[in-house]
Structure 1
Amino acid sequence: MIENNSGERWEIGETLKAIRLNSGMKQTEVYSNVMSRAHLQRIEKNAQIPTYPLLLNVIHKFSMDVNEFEYIRNEYSFSETQKLFHKFRNIKTTLNTDAMRNLIQEVDNYLLKNKSAFIQNLHYILNGYLILQETNNIDKARKYFDPVWKNIQKKETWYYNDIILMSNIFYMFEDEPLQFILNQLNKYFKLYAGFADIDRISRITRFNYCTLLRLQNRYFETESILNELLTSATKAREGTMILEIKFALNQIHWLKGFKNASDFEAERIISSMELLGDIKASEDMKKDWEKFKGEQTISIH
């Protein structure tokens, strides 16, 4: 492992030199046809900062990308902003109010010392989720989500962080902005296809949209979307999502009159979720299935 005992973030040239030496590569192997020997020595001694295109060229010769280079340069650690973002994404469910409160405190402390539109947007979203859980009042919660949308709406182009933020809150808006946001998300899901975990985020977003329609008793409108998602999730081997999609499709099967077969399938799906170790999800499915069957009148649009 490359080590830096200074306790401080490495300089660019220092990091390049350490990676080169650790890889057993000579200077000529890395820098030939890229820069002069004198230029190289100035960079590796931190006397000169390389241009971005030159830096990319060298990093690629290490079979490495910029994210990994920065991770190494930061003492094998993420930046403070990245750490907050990862904690936000690891909360997983808005039912985890304790985790949200703890993260809000961390975000507050960060914003006291730093300006960051992105972290401010995280702050709004966390508070909006918390209000929603405590009051079950979407209008009160939307007051926190609206500033996020207003900030991102001003941008001509959305980037990865914008996509993640909006995919987490799109269903909080009224129909007109909701449809516009969904169209924008679908546009950027295509542009970013294959980048990081965007494909998984795309599936989650589309499934959440189906959940929104189901809450409005618009079950049959979700069938084609769910079938596409099932194919995609199966290729990606996302076990939990596969079962959630099958559960939603099974509700449609029940509505079509196949009640006995649907009851059997629901039991099978719930048991499979238990086997995956997601006990909370299996318990929620069991309650949802009984509630779904117990509804005497369902308006299907």
Structure 2
Amino acid sequence: MKTIGETIKEIRKMKGFTQSDFTDFSQPSIASIEKSNRSISINKLNSILADFKMTLREFEYIRNDYELSKTDELFYDFASVKNSVYAEQGKQIVNKLGKHIAENPSDFVIYCLFIIEDVFVKISQQNTYEVDSPESFQIWSTLYGREAWSYQEIFIMSKLFYVFPEEIAFKVIARVEREMIPYINFLREINFDTTFYVNVGKYLIHKNNLKKAKEYLQKAAILAKKNDKIILEIDINAHLAIIDHLNGSENAHLEVEKCINKFIVIDRELLAKDLTSDWELFFKKKQRVSNQ
């Protein structure tokens, strides 16, 4: 990793700046910083970044030789894969997580991702959200008392609420909703809010809280349409149709089948298979009216 001074010099040349072109620094000051002869506060660094019109996040990416930190790389790899569907990719990521934890046992974020994957596997194998995961409770007890969560901690808890008793699960959901508000734009690339609302909606369907499930899925539908997330739209429409089916609609199954076919048409056969499995295993033969 380059020093802060070396990175400033590299970006300055990239941008076509001279050492005299900075708002809050003289030429000798910039020269001293670039040679690492002078320390720089975060406020002063932010001033330089403002002149560069660059975020701290991009600065650190360049400083790290145009690579994410290992934790960020693993985090984004994990966040970009639907582990319940793309099993092979999920296995590869788990192997990377395990190797990283062995080398960096104090990396809390990566440890949590490893536990999330363990939870996903248990849910998939047992076909229920009611799985045993004492590690998840330990993670919750660690984060619960903190005044605020980082974006990675928000993501972690958004994936673990499933395994808790409903009373705790609803507390986690409410906390995630509150904590994610200032991070919405920061997490835009992984569609964090949309996928969270979808997952909450699906969870609530399984808990037969159909009214609340529909509210979350409708919020997700608005965001998916706004951001042109076709795959999420199809998945949301399928689960809204499942709610209608469970509420007694005679034709809702046609919309579910239509969504399955849409996945096939756009060459997402694994998603089609996943949706078909959930539909036939949990919902197809059930039809009831929920008063919740």
Q: Could you tell me the TM-score, scaled by structure 1's length?
A: 0.84
Matches within 5 A, 1:101-112: 101-112=91-102
**Sequence identity, in percent?**
24
Q: Distance in 1 between matches of 2:121 and 2:41?
A: 44
Report the equivalent of 1:5. none
Q: 1:25 to 1:85 in 2, by over 3 A?
A: same
User: In the alignment, is the contact (CA less than 8 A) between 1:273 and 1:279 conserved in 2?
Assistant: yes
Matches within 5 A, 1:1-301: 9-29=1-21, 31=22, 33-94=23-84, 96=86, 99-114=89-104, 115-134=106-125, 141-197=132-188, 200-255=191-246, 257-260=248-251, 262-290=252-280, 292-295=283-286, 298=288, 300-301=290-291
Q: Distance in 1 between matches of 2:112 and 2:277?
A: 34
Q: Distance in 1 between matches of 2:81 and 2:69?
A: 19
The offset of 1:79, in angstroms, is 1.2
User: In the alignment, is the contact (CA less than 8 A) between 1:129 and 1:141 conserved in 2?
Assistant: no
The number of residues matched between the two structures is 289
Q: 1:287 to 1:198 in 2, by over 3 A?
A: same
Secondary structure in 2 matching 1:27: coil
Q: Distance in 1 between matches of 2:247 and 2:127?
A: 32
Q: Deviations over 1:108-155 (max 9, x none)?
A: 443344322223323333334344445668666421211211111131
Q: Which amino acid aligns with 1:55?
A: L
Q: Could you tell me the TM-score, scaled by structure 2's length?
A: 0.86
Q: Distance in 2 between matches of 1:87 and 1:77?
A: 13
The offset of 1:24, in angstroms, is 1.5
Q: Which amino acid aligns with 2:115?
A: Y
Secondary structure in 2 matching 1:294: coil
The offset of 1:61, in angstroms, is 1.4
The offset of 1:174, in angstroms, is 0.5
Secondary structure in 2 matching 1:178: helix
Q: Distance in 2 between matches of 1:100 and 1:287?
A: 19
Q: Which amino acid aligns with 1:53?
A: N
Q: 1:141 to 1:99 in 2, by over 3 A?
A: farther
Q: Which amino acid aligns with 1:65?
A: T
Q: Distance in 2 between matches of 1:49 and 1:12?
A: 9
Gaps of 5+ in 2: none
Q: Which amino acid aligns with 2:80?
A: N
Q: Distance in 1 between matches of 2:189 and 2:80?
A: 16
* Structure 1, 245-254 or 196-205: larger mean CA deviation: 196-205
Q: Distance in 1 between matches of 2:226 and 2:60?
A: 32
Greater Rg over alpha carbons, structure: 1
User: In the alignment, is the contact (CA less than 8 A) between 1:243 and 1:269 conserved in 2?
Assistant: yes
The offset of 1:20, in angstroms, is 1.1
User: In the alignment, is the contact (CA less than 8 A) between 2:157 and 2:172 conserved in 1?
Assistant: yes
Q: Distance in 1 between matches of 2:128 and 2:207?
A: 17
